[in-house]
Chain A
Amino acid sequence: MRITVNVNGEDRTREVEPRHLLVRFLRDDLELTGTHWGCDTSNCGTCVVLMDGEPVKSCTVLAVMAAGHEIRTVEDLADGDRLDPVQQGFIEQHGLQCGFCTPGMMLTGRALLDRNPDPSDQEIREAISGQLCRCTGYLNIVRSIQWAAREQAAVAAPEAPATATATGGRA
Protein backbone atom coordinates (compact mmCIF):
# COMPACT_ATOMS: atom_id res chain seq x y z
CA MET A 1 0.00 0.00 0.00
CA ARG A 2 1.12 3.49 -0.73
CA ILE A 3 0.83 5.76 2.29
CA THR A 4 1.68 9.34 3.14
CA VAL A 5 2.41 10.21 6.74
CA ASN A 6 3.28 13.69 7.88
CA VAL A 7 6.43 13.15 9.92
CA ASN A 8 8.01 16.10 11.67
CA GLY A 9 6.16 18.53 9.44
CA GLU A 10 7.02 16.84 6.15
CA ASP A 11 4.85 14.52 4.06
CA ARG A 12 6.64 11.21 3.63
CA THR A 13 5.32 8.72 1.09
CA ARG A 14 6.30 5.06 1.01
CA GLU A 15 5.06 1.72 -0.19
CA VAL A 16 4.41 -0.50 2.84
CA GLU A 17 2.75 -3.76 3.78
CA PRO A 18 -0.35 -3.25 5.95
CA ARG A 19 1.35 -5.18 8.77
CA HIS A 20 4.28 -2.76 8.87
CA LEU A 21 4.45 -1.17 12.31
CA LEU A 22 4.81 2.57 12.69
CA VAL A 23 8.01 2.12 14.71
CA ARG A 24 9.58 0.21 11.80
CA PHE A 25 8.34 2.73 9.28
CA LEU A 26 10.06 5.50 11.22
CA ARG A 27 13.27 3.61 11.94
CA ASP A 28 13.78 1.51 8.81
CA ASP A 29 12.05 3.40 6.03
CA LEU A 30 12.67 6.96 7.14
CA GLU A 31 15.87 6.21 9.07
CA LEU A 32 14.63 8.17 12.04
CA THR A 33 16.32 5.93 14.57
CA GLY A 34 15.75 8.31 17.47
CA THR A 35 12.53 6.43 18.12
CA HIS A 36 13.57 3.35 20.05
CA TRP A 37 12.10 -0.08 19.93
CA GLY A 38 12.13 -2.22 23.05
CA CYS A 39 9.58 -4.76 24.17
CA ASP A 40 7.35 -4.68 21.11
CA THR A 41 4.45 -5.64 23.38
CA SER A 42 3.14 -2.14 24.18
CA ASN A 43 4.53 -2.36 27.68
CA CYS A 44 7.82 -0.47 27.82
CA GLY A 45 6.93 2.79 26.08
CA THR A 46 10.37 3.45 24.61
CA CYS A 47 8.71 3.63 21.17
CA VAL A 48 6.48 6.56 22.14
CA VAL A 49 6.00 9.20 19.45
CA LEU A 50 3.42 11.95 19.22
CA MET A 51 0.46 11.25 16.94
CA ASP A 52 -1.54 14.41 16.33
CA GLY A 53 0.22 15.83 19.38
CA GLU A 54 -0.45 13.02 21.84
CA PRO A 55 1.85 10.19 22.96
CA VAL A 56 1.21 6.77 21.43
CA LYS A 57 3.21 3.54 21.43
CA SER A 58 4.41 3.24 17.85
CA CYS A 59 4.97 -0.53 18.12
CA THR A 60 1.20 -0.89 18.46
CA VAL A 61 0.14 1.42 15.64
CA LEU A 62 0.24 0.21 12.05
CA ALA A 63 2.00 2.55 9.65
CA VAL A 64 -1.12 2.42 7.47
CA MET A 65 -3.17 3.63 10.44
CA ALA A 66 -0.88 6.64 10.77
CA ALA A 67 -1.44 7.67 7.14
CA GLY A 68 -2.94 11.13 6.99
CA HIS A 69 -1.88 11.88 10.57
CA GLU A 70 0.89 14.00 12.02
CA ILE A 71 3.71 12.14 13.70
CA ARG A 72 6.36 13.91 15.72
CA THR A 73 9.56 12.17 16.74
CA VAL A 74 12.46 13.14 18.96
CA GLU A 75 14.38 14.37 15.90
CA ASP A 76 11.93 17.26 15.68
CA LEU A 77 12.34 18.52 19.25
CA ALA A 78 15.35 20.76 18.68
CA ASP A 79 15.08 23.79 16.45
CA GLY A 80 18.41 23.66 14.63
CA ASP A 81 21.02 24.03 17.35
CA ARG A 82 18.50 25.27 19.87
CA LEU A 83 17.38 22.48 22.14
CA ASP A 84 13.82 22.18 23.30
CA PRO A 85 13.54 23.16 26.99
CA VAL A 86 12.69 19.53 27.73
CA GLN A 87 15.93 18.38 26.12
CA GLN A 88 17.85 21.04 27.99
CA GLY A 89 16.12 19.92 31.18
CA PHE A 90 17.35 16.35 30.67
CA ILE A 91 20.90 17.73 30.45
CA GLU A 92 20.57 20.06 33.44
CA GLN A 93 18.94 17.49 35.69
CA HIS A 94 20.79 14.36 34.51
CA GLY A 95 17.52 12.97 33.15
CA LEU A 96 19.23 10.10 31.33
CA GLN A 97 21.68 7.37 32.02
CA CYS A 98 21.83 4.85 29.16
CA GLY A 99 19.40 6.98 27.16
CA PHE A 100 17.23 4.17 25.89
CA CYS A 101 13.95 5.47 27.31
CA THR A 102 14.89 9.11 26.75
CA PRO A 103 13.30 9.91 23.36
CA GLY A 104 9.92 8.65 24.51
CA MET A 105 10.23 10.35 27.89
CA MET A 106 11.12 13.68 26.30
CA LEU A 107 8.24 13.53 23.84
CA THR A 108 5.81 12.73 26.66
CA GLY A 109 7.26 15.65 28.60
CA ARG A 110 6.80 17.91 25.58
CA ALA A 111 3.17 16.82 25.05
CA LEU A 112 2.42 17.31 28.74
CA LEU A 113 3.86 20.84 28.83
CA ASP A 114 1.96 21.75 25.65
CA ARG A 115 -1.30 20.98 27.45
CA ASN A 116 -0.32 21.90 30.96
CA PRO A 117 2.60 24.34 31.28
CA ASP A 118 2.77 23.97 35.06
CA PRO A 119 2.25 20.31 35.91
CA SER A 120 2.50 19.03 39.47
CA ASP A 121 4.95 16.34 40.44
CA GLN A 122 2.06 13.86 40.44
CA GLU A 123 0.88 14.92 36.98
CA ILE A 124 4.35 14.36 35.55
CA ARG A 125 4.56 10.94 37.16
CA GLU A 126 1.16 10.02 35.78
CA ALA A 127 2.12 11.24 32.29
CA ILE A 128 5.25 9.04 32.15
CA SER A 129 3.65 6.08 33.91
CA GLY A 130 3.38 4.06 30.70
CA GLN A 131 7.11 4.26 30.06
CA LEU A 132 9.82 2.28 31.76
CA CYS A 133 13.27 3.58 32.57
CA ARG A 134 15.34 0.46 33.05
CA CYS A 135 18.05 2.61 34.62
CA THR A 136 15.33 3.67 37.09
CA GLY A 137 16.17 7.35 36.87
CA TYR A 138 12.58 8.41 37.36
CA LEU A 139 13.29 11.10 39.93
CA ASN A 140 15.63 12.90 37.57
CA ILE A 141 13.23 12.50 34.66
CA VAL A 142 10.54 14.21 36.73
CA ARG A 143 13.01 16.94 37.67
CA SER A 144 14.03 17.40 34.03
CA ILE A 145 10.44 18.03 32.99
CA GLN A 146 9.96 20.37 35.94
CA TRP A 147 13.10 22.22 34.90
CA ALA A 148 11.67 22.62 31.41
CA ALA A 149 8.38 23.93 32.80
CA ARG A 150 10.22 26.58 34.84
CA GLU A 151 12.47 27.47 31.94
CA GLN A 152 9.50 27.97 29.63
CA ALA A 153 7.72 30.08 32.22
CA ALA A 154 10.85 32.19 32.70
CA VAL A 155 11.21 32.75 28.96
CA ALA A 156 7.53 33.64 28.68
CA ALA A 157 7.84 36.21 31.51
CA PRO A 158 11.19 37.93 30.83
CA GLU A 159 11.04 40.28 33.83
CA ALA A 160 11.19 37.31 36.19
CA PRO A 161 14.66 36.01 37.21
CA ALA A 162 16.35 35.27 33.92
CA THR A 163 17.01 31.54 34.04
CA ALA A 164 15.44 28.71 35.89
CA THR A 165 17.62 27.36 38.63
CA ALA A 166 19.13 23.97 38.27
CA THR A 167 18.40 22.83 41.78
CA GLY A 168 15.61 20.52 40.74
CA GLY A 169 13.69 21.03 43.95
CA ARG A 170 10.25 19.70 44.53
CA ALA A 171 7.32 21.21 42.68
Chain B
Amino acid sequence: MTGPYDRAIVPPDRPSDPRGTGAVLKGRERAVQVPASFDYRRATSVAEALELLRRYGEEARVVAGGHSLLPMMKLRLAGPELLVDINDLHELDHIEQAGDELRIGALTRHRTLLESPLVGRCFPIVHDAEKVIADPPVRNRGTIGGSLCQADPSEDLSAVCGALHARVVIRGEGGERVVPMADFHQGPYETAVGVGEMLVQVRIPVLPGAGSAYEKVERKSGDWAVAAAGVALTLREGRIADAGVGLAAVGAGALNLDAVQELLNGREPSEALYEEAGRLASAHCSPVTDGRGSAEYKRHLAGELTRRALRRSVARARTAQGTTGEA
Protein backbone atom coordinates (compact mmCIF):
# COMPACT_ATOMS: atom_id res chain seq x y z
CA MET B 1 0.00 0.00 0.00
CA THR B 2 1.36 3.42 -0.83
CA GLY B 3 0.56 6.54 1.01
CA PRO B 4 2.02 9.75 2.29
CA TYR B 5 4.04 7.84 4.86
CA ASP B 6 5.95 5.51 2.63
CA ARG B 7 8.85 7.92 2.28
CA ALA B 8 9.30 7.63 5.98
CA ILE B 9 10.24 4.01 6.12
CA VAL B 10 13.45 3.64 8.01
CA PRO B 11 16.16 1.85 6.11
CA PRO B 12 16.76 -1.36 8.04
CA ASP B 13 20.50 -0.91 8.05
CA ARG B 14 20.43 2.34 9.95
CA PRO B 15 21.54 2.05 13.54
CA SER B 16 18.62 2.73 15.73
CA ASP B 17 17.88 3.10 19.36
CA PRO B 18 14.62 1.81 20.72
CA ARG B 19 15.12 3.87 23.82
CA GLY B 20 15.47 7.06 21.87
CA THR B 21 18.81 8.14 23.20
CA GLY B 22 19.09 10.32 20.21
CA ALA B 23 17.81 8.94 17.07
CA VAL B 24 19.82 8.59 14.10
CA LEU B 25 17.44 9.20 11.30
CA LYS B 26 18.37 12.15 9.22
CA GLY B 27 18.01 13.36 5.71
CA ARG B 28 15.39 14.95 3.52
CA GLU B 29 13.67 11.64 2.89
CA ARG B 30 12.67 11.44 6.49
CA ALA B 31 9.47 13.44 6.40
CA VAL B 32 7.90 11.74 9.37
CA GLN B 33 8.46 8.65 11.43
CA VAL B 34 5.37 6.51 11.66
CA PRO B 35 4.78 2.82 12.14
CA ALA B 36 4.10 0.49 9.22
CA SER B 37 0.43 -0.29 8.61
CA PHE B 38 -1.47 -2.45 11.06
CA ASP B 39 -5.02 -3.16 12.10
CA TYR B 40 -6.36 -1.83 15.35
CA ARG B 41 -9.02 -3.12 17.69
CA ARG B 42 -10.02 -1.61 20.96
CA ALA B 43 -10.98 -4.43 23.30
CA THR B 44 -14.10 -3.94 25.41
CA SER B 45 -13.40 -6.88 27.71
CA VAL B 46 -10.47 -9.05 28.72
CA ALA B 47 -12.24 -11.99 27.08
CA GLU B 48 -12.46 -10.10 23.79
CA ALA B 49 -8.79 -9.10 23.99
CA LEU B 50 -7.80 -12.72 24.60
CA GLU B 51 -9.98 -13.90 21.75
CA LEU B 52 -8.30 -11.44 19.35
CA LEU B 53 -4.85 -12.41 20.58
CA ARG B 54 -5.68 -16.05 20.07
CA ARG B 55 -7.12 -15.52 16.62
CA TYR B 56 -4.21 -13.44 15.29
CA GLY B 57 -1.51 -15.39 17.12
CA GLU B 58 2.05 -14.13 16.73
CA GLU B 59 0.93 -11.24 14.55
CA ALA B 60 -1.05 -9.55 17.33
CA ARG B 61 0.32 -7.40 20.13
CA VAL B 62 -1.31 -5.79 23.12
CA VAL B 63 -0.90 -2.03 23.32
CA ALA B 64 -1.16 -0.49 26.79
CA GLY B 65 0.56 2.89 27.24
CA GLY B 66 2.29 2.38 23.92
CA HIS B 67 5.39 4.18 25.17
CA SER B 68 7.70 1.27 24.49
CA LEU B 69 5.81 -0.41 21.68
CA LEU B 70 5.06 2.60 19.46
CA PRO B 71 8.68 3.83 19.43
CA MET B 72 9.75 0.30 18.48
CA MET B 73 7.16 0.17 15.72
CA LYS B 74 8.34 3.52 14.37
CA LEU B 75 11.86 2.13 14.21
CA ARG B 76 10.63 -1.11 12.59
CA LEU B 77 11.90 -3.10 15.56
CA ALA B 78 8.36 -4.38 15.98
CA GLY B 79 5.79 -4.87 13.23
CA PRO B 80 2.58 -6.38 14.54
CA GLU B 81 -0.30 -6.78 12.10
CA LEU B 82 -2.88 -6.16 14.79
CA LEU B 83 -2.78 -3.97 17.86
CA VAL B 84 -5.21 -4.89 20.60
CA ASP B 85 -5.78 -1.75 22.64
CA ILE B 86 -6.53 -2.60 26.28
CA ASN B 87 -6.88 0.98 27.54
CA ASP B 88 -10.64 0.67 28.01
CA LEU B 89 -10.29 -2.36 30.29
CA HIS B 90 -10.68 -0.45 33.52
CA GLU B 91 -10.88 -3.67 35.52
CA LEU B 92 -7.14 -3.99 34.84
CA ASP B 93 -6.50 -0.59 36.44
CA HIS B 94 -6.62 -1.21 40.17
CA ILE B 95 -4.55 -1.32 43.35
CA GLU B 96 -6.04 -3.40 46.13
CA GLN B 97 -4.90 -5.18 49.24
CA ALA B 98 -5.95 -8.83 49.41
CA GLY B 99 -4.78 -10.63 52.51
CA ASP B 100 -1.03 -10.33 52.77
CA GLU B 101 -0.44 -9.12 49.25
CA LEU B 102 -1.00 -6.02 47.20
CA ARG B 103 -2.59 -6.65 43.82
CA ILE B 104 -1.88 -4.20 41.03
CA GLY B 105 -3.75 -4.40 37.73
CA ALA B 106 -1.61 -4.60 34.60
CA LEU B 107 -3.05 -1.36 33.22
CA THR B 108 -2.12 0.69 36.30
CA ARG B 109 -0.17 3.72 35.08
CA HIS B 110 3.19 4.84 36.45
CA ARG B 111 1.52 7.98 37.68
CA THR B 112 -1.15 6.10 39.62
CA LEU B 113 1.54 4.05 41.34
CA LEU B 114 3.46 7.19 42.22
CA GLU B 115 0.39 8.88 43.63
CA SER B 116 -0.84 5.90 45.66
CA PRO B 117 -0.18 6.37 49.40
CA LEU B 118 -0.88 2.66 49.92
CA VAL B 119 1.86 1.69 47.48
CA GLY B 120 4.25 4.20 49.06
CA ARG B 121 3.54 2.86 52.54
CA CYS B 122 3.93 -0.82 51.66
CA PHE B 123 6.72 -0.46 49.11
CA PRO B 124 8.79 2.72 49.32
CA ILE B 125 10.99 1.15 46.62
CA VAL B 126 8.18 1.65 44.09
CA HIS B 127 7.95 5.35 44.83
CA ASP B 128 11.75 5.71 44.77
CA ALA B 129 11.72 4.19 41.29
CA GLU B 130 8.61 5.89 39.94
CA LYS B 131 10.01 9.33 40.77
CA VAL B 132 12.84 8.68 38.32
CA ILE B 133 11.09 6.61 35.63
CA ALA B 134 10.87 8.72 32.51
CA ASP B 135 9.02 12.02 32.95
CA PRO B 136 5.49 13.11 33.89
CA PRO B 137 3.87 12.90 30.42
CA VAL B 138 5.38 9.44 29.85
CA ARG B 139 4.27 8.38 33.34
CA ASN B 140 0.74 9.49 32.46
CA ARG B 141 0.62 6.76 29.79
CA GLY B 142 3.06 3.96 30.62
CA THR B 143 1.75 1.02 32.64
CA ILE B 144 3.21 -1.55 35.00
CA GLY B 145 2.05 -4.35 32.70
CA GLY B 146 3.75 -2.78 29.70
CA SER B 147 6.93 -2.22 31.67
CA LEU B 148 7.15 -5.84 32.78
CA CYS B 149 6.08 -7.30 29.42
CA GLN B 150 8.61 -5.19 27.56
CA ALA B 151 11.23 -7.26 29.43
CA ASP B 152 13.89 -4.70 28.71
CA PRO B 153 16.73 -5.29 31.18
CA SER B 154 16.81 -1.50 31.68
CA GLU B 155 13.18 -1.31 32.78
CA ASP B 156 13.16 -0.04 36.37
CA LEU B 157 9.91 -1.70 37.46
CA SER B 158 11.24 -5.13 36.49
CA ALA B 159 14.15 -4.76 38.93
CA VAL B 160 11.72 -3.41 41.53
CA CYS B 161 9.28 -6.31 41.12
CA GLY B 162 12.18 -8.75 41.14
CA ALA B 163 13.49 -7.37 44.42
CA LEU B 164 9.98 -7.50 45.90
CA HIS B 165 9.56 -11.16 44.87
CA ALA B 166 6.41 -10.22 43.01
CA ARG B 167 4.33 -12.75 41.12
CA VAL B 168 2.44 -11.99 37.96
CA VAL B 169 -0.90 -13.33 36.82
CA ILE B 170 -1.15 -14.41 33.19
CA ARG B 171 -4.59 -15.08 31.76
CA GLY B 172 -5.38 -17.15 28.68
CA GLU B 173 -8.17 -19.25 27.25
CA GLY B 174 -7.65 -21.97 29.83
CA GLY B 175 -7.68 -19.65 32.84
CA GLU B 176 -4.99 -18.01 34.93
CA ARG B 177 -1.52 -18.99 36.03
CA VAL B 178 0.66 -17.24 38.56
CA VAL B 179 4.33 -16.93 37.71
CA PRO B 180 7.13 -15.62 39.97
CA MET B 181 9.05 -12.66 38.54
CA ALA B 182 12.18 -14.80 38.47
CA ASP B 183 10.55 -17.03 35.83
CA PHE B 184 8.62 -14.30 34.04
CA HIS B 185 11.47 -12.85 32.04
CA GLN B 186 12.93 -15.49 29.79
CA GLY B 187 15.54 -13.29 28.15
CA PRO B 188 15.74 -9.75 26.86
CA TYR B 189 12.33 -8.79 25.38
CA GLU B 190 10.96 -12.30 26.08
CA THR B 191 8.43 -13.20 28.73
CA ALA B 192 6.37 -16.16 29.89
CA VAL B 193 3.28 -14.62 28.26
CA GLY B 194 2.34 -17.04 25.47
CA VAL B 195 0.32 -16.57 22.30
CA GLY B 196 -3.30 -15.79 23.15
CA GLU B 197 -2.40 -14.71 26.68
CA MET B 198 -1.95 -11.46 28.52
CA LEU B 199 -0.67 -10.18 31.81
CA VAL B 200 -3.55 -9.11 34.04
CA GLN B 201 -2.12 -8.49 37.49
CA VAL B 202 1.01 -8.12 39.58
CA ARG B 203 0.96 -9.46 43.14
CA ILE B 204 3.44 -8.30 45.72
CA PRO B 205 3.73 -9.79 49.21
CA VAL B 206 3.22 -7.29 52.02
CA LEU B 207 5.53 -8.31 54.85
CA PRO B 208 5.42 -6.81 58.33
CA GLY B 209 8.45 -4.73 59.26
CA ALA B 210 9.71 -4.59 55.70
CA GLY B 211 12.03 -1.99 54.23
CA SER B 212 12.91 -1.38 50.61
CA ALA B 213 14.69 1.16 48.43
CA TYR B 214 15.70 1.88 44.84
CA GLU B 215 18.86 3.66 43.78
CA LYS B 216 19.36 4.76 40.19
CA VAL B 217 22.03 6.74 38.42
CA GLU B 218 20.85 8.49 35.25
CA ARG B 219 22.61 10.87 32.91
CA LYS B 220 19.82 13.39 32.91
CA SER B 221 16.40 13.82 34.40
CA GLY B 222 13.94 11.29 32.98
CA ASP B 223 16.53 9.12 31.31
CA TRP B 224 16.95 5.38 31.46
CA ALA B 225 19.32 4.09 34.12
CA VAL B 226 23.07 3.92 33.61
CA ALA B 227 22.62 1.32 36.33
CA ALA B 228 20.18 0.87 39.19
CA ALA B 229 19.65 -1.39 42.18
CA GLY B 230 16.56 -2.33 44.14
CA VAL B 231 16.55 -3.98 47.56
CA ALA B 232 13.69 -5.28 49.69
CA LEU B 233 14.03 -7.09 53.03
CA THR B 234 12.54 -7.57 56.45
CA LEU B 235 14.25 -7.60 59.82
CA ARG B 236 13.47 -10.49 62.16
CA GLU B 237 15.00 -10.20 65.60
CA GLY B 238 17.59 -7.91 64.18
CA ARG B 239 18.50 -10.20 61.31
CA ILE B 240 17.80 -9.80 57.61
CA ALA B 241 15.15 -12.08 56.12
CA ASP B 242 13.26 -12.30 52.82
CA ALA B 243 16.03 -10.37 51.07
CA GLY B 244 15.41 -9.43 47.45
CA VAL B 245 18.00 -7.74 45.27
CA GLY B 246 17.33 -6.76 41.65
CA LEU B 247 19.44 -4.71 39.26
CA ALA B 248 18.48 -2.76 36.15
CA ALA B 249 20.50 -1.85 33.06
CA VAL B 250 23.35 -4.26 33.77
CA GLY B 251 22.28 -7.13 31.53
CA ALA B 252 19.50 -9.70 31.55
CA GLY B 253 18.92 -12.07 34.42
CA ALA B 254 19.64 -9.62 37.24
CA LEU B 255 16.09 -9.26 38.59
CA ASN B 256 16.84 -11.62 41.44
CA LEU B 257 20.46 -11.99 42.50
CA ASP B 258 20.26 -15.29 44.36
CA ALA B 259 23.86 -15.16 45.50
CA VAL B 260 23.38 -11.76 47.17
CA GLN B 261 20.03 -12.73 48.64
CA GLU B 262 21.50 -15.87 50.18
CA LEU B 263 24.39 -13.92 51.61
CA LEU B 264 22.04 -11.45 53.29
CA ASN B 265 19.39 -13.76 54.73
CA GLY B 266 19.99 -14.53 58.40
CA ARG B 267 22.75 -11.96 58.82
CA GLU B 268 22.84 -8.89 61.04
CA PRO B 269 23.04 -5.66 59.05
CA SER B 270 26.50 -4.08 59.07
CA GLU B 271 28.66 -1.98 56.79
CA ALA B 272 30.92 -4.99 56.27
CA LEU B 273 27.93 -7.03 55.09
CA TYR B 274 26.83 -4.26 52.69
CA GLU B 275 30.35 -4.13 51.34
CA GLU B 276 30.34 -7.87 50.65
CA ALA B 277 26.87 -7.74 49.12
CA GLY B 278 27.94 -4.92 46.81
CA ARG B 279 30.98 -6.88 45.71
CA LEU B 280 28.83 -9.92 44.92
CA ALA B 281 26.23 -7.86 43.06
CA SER B 282 28.92 -6.34 40.93
CA ALA B 283 30.33 -9.79 40.17
CA HIS B 284 26.92 -11.25 39.28
CA CYS B 285 25.85 -8.88 36.53
CA SER B 286 26.81 -8.52 32.90
CA PRO B 287 26.75 -4.89 31.80
CA VAL B 288 27.87 -3.83 28.36
CA THR B 289 29.55 -0.64 27.28
CA ASP B 290 27.22 1.78 25.50
CA GLY B 291 26.41 5.47 25.26
CA ARG B 292 25.46 5.54 28.91
CA GLY B 293 28.78 4.31 30.24
CA SER B 294 31.45 1.65 30.18
CA ALA B 295 30.82 -1.87 31.41
CA GLU B 296 33.39 -1.23 34.11
CA TYR B 297 31.63 1.88 35.38
CA LYS B 298 28.25 0.12 35.39
CA ARG B 299 29.72 -2.78 37.33
CA HIS B 300 31.07 -0.32 39.85
CA LEU B 301 27.64 1.31 40.08
CA ALA B 302 25.92 -2.06 40.55
CA GLY B 303 27.99 -2.59 43.68
CA GLU B 304 27.75 0.91 45.06
CA LEU B 305 24.00 1.25 44.40
CA THR B 306 23.34 -2.15 46.00
CA ARG B 307 25.15 -0.94 49.12
CA ARG B 308 23.18 2.30 49.21
CA ALA B 309 19.85 0.57 48.64
CA LEU B 310 20.68 -1.92 51.41
CA ARG B 311 21.52 0.83 53.88
CA ARG B 312 18.26 2.65 53.16
CA SER B 313 16.18 -0.55 53.21
CA VAL B 314 17.51 -1.47 56.63
CA ALA B 315 16.90 2.06 57.95
CA ARG B 316 13.34 1.96 56.62
CA ALA B 317 12.69 -1.50 58.06
CA ARG B 318 13.85 -0.22 61.46
CA THR B 319 11.54 2.77 61.19
CA ALA B 320 8.66 0.53 60.13
CA GLN B 321 9.24 -1.72 63.12
CA GLY B 322 9.55 1.27 65.42
CA THR B 323 6.20 2.51 64.18
CA THR B 324 4.61 -0.90 64.61
CA GLY B 325 6.04 -1.12 68.12
CA GLU B 326 4.64 2.24 69.17
CA ALA B 327 1.23 1.72 67.58
Contact = CB atoms under 8 A, between A and B. Distances in A.
A58 to B, nearest CB: 9
Nearest to A47: B137
Residue in B71, B134, B141 whose Cβ sees the most chain A Cβ within 10 Å: B141
Interface string A52-94: 0011110011101101000000000000000000000000000
Interface in B1-53: 3, 5, 20, 23, 32-40, 42
Contact of A62 (B32, B37, B66, B135): B66
A24 interface: yes
Interface residues of B, number: 34
B67 A19 contact: no
Contact of B38 (A19, A56, A57): A19
20 contacts: A17-B37, A18-B37, A18-B40, A19-B35, A19-B37, A20-B34, A40-B23, A40-B33, A41-B20, A41-B74, A42-B70, A55-B140, A56-B137, A57-B141, A60-B67, A61-B141, A64-B40, A65-B85, A129-B221, A130-B134
Interface in A23-54: 24, 39-43, 45, 48, 51, 54
A64 B141 CA distance: 15
A127 interface: yes
Contact of B34 (A21, A108, A126): A21
B39 A18 contact: yes
B137 A55 contact: yes
Nearest to B82: A18
Given A19-B5, A19-B35, A42-B20, A62 B70 contact: yes
B120 interface: no
A156 interface: no
A64 B35 CA distance: 13
Interface of B is mostly: loop
Contacts of B70: 42, 60, 62
A15 to B, nearest CB: 13
Interface string B79-100: 0000101010000000000000
A24 B319 CA distance: 51
Interface of B: 3, 5, 20, 23, 32-40, 42, 63, 66-67, 70-71, 73-74, 83, 85, 87, 111, 134-138, 140-141, 221-222
A141 B242 CA distance: 47
Nearest to B220: A129
Interface string A102-130: 00000010000000000000000011011
A40 B37 contact: no
A31 to B, nearest CB: 16
B141 A60 contact: yes
B38 A18 contact: yes
Contacts of A20: 34
B83 A45 contact: no
A42 B40 contact: no
Interface in A121-162: 126-127, 129-131
B71 A45 contact: no
Contacts of A17: 3, 37
Contact of A40 (B32, B66, B83): B32
A98 interface: no
Contacts of B33: 40-41
B35 A60 contact: no
Contacts of A48: 137
